[in-house]
Amino acid sequence: MRKLLLTSLVALCPAVASATTLAGDTVNLALPGFGAVDVVVGSGIEFDLDGTTFDLNPNGTNNLLVVDGDVFGTVGNVSSLVISDMNFNDGSELTGFLVTQTNLVNLQVSFTADSLTFTFDPNTDSPNGILLEGAYLTQLPGAGPTPVPLPATAPLLLLAAGGLAVMRRRKARG
């Protein structure tokens, strides 16, 4: 029964597009206090800011983002990162971001169909390493939960139940 329930819930959840990628797209990285820069997404590091690297498609692995290196505070007390103009190759829209690893204190993530905003404590004090890692969650526009088809036996069951009800009435009368 649990397996059937779990399968039903999974079928009702929106699907994450697995072939979606930002490769070849030009996105805008904005760091308040530093400015903004347009970068072309490829299979390597897209941007390096004094030892903090931004890889929006690490090793060509579709939906990943990795920000690695020094603490943001060392480059102007940064407390947010905005990635905008995100145009996924299959037309998918951003529906969220799954943080898989972070050293940023009080990290909050917000998004629109084509942008991500990360806000955090500017006094984050962590050793060099992964500052933020996660996956873009996307969905094709207009795609929703998968409809559950009516089983072919449902009309037959209704017909049988109606037939039994008619037979019961006739038996009660006669």
pLDDT tens digit sequence for 13-53 = 444 434 577 888 899 988 877 788 898 888 778 888 777 88
Reference 42, options 58, 20, 29; nearest CA is 58
Residue 6: predicted pLDDT = 34
Domain residue ranges in the chain: 2-139
Residue 3: predicted pLDDT = 41
pLDDT tens digit sequence for 99-115 = 998 888 788 999 998 99
Residue 86 or residue 150, greater confidence: 86
